Amino acid sequence: WGGGWGDCYQCLPWKPQGVCLAFYESHFDTAIVDHEADGSTSNGIFQINSHLWCEDYKHFQPNFCKMHCSDLLTSDIKDDIVCAMRIAQGPRGLGAWYHCSV
| Residues tagged active-site | 25
Q: Report the alpha-carbon distance of residue 53 to residue 89 in Å, rounded.
A: 13
R_g of the chain, CA atoms, integer Å: 13
Strand-pair category, 48-49 with 41-43: antiparallel
Q: What are phi and psi of 41, to 5 degrees?
A: -125, 150
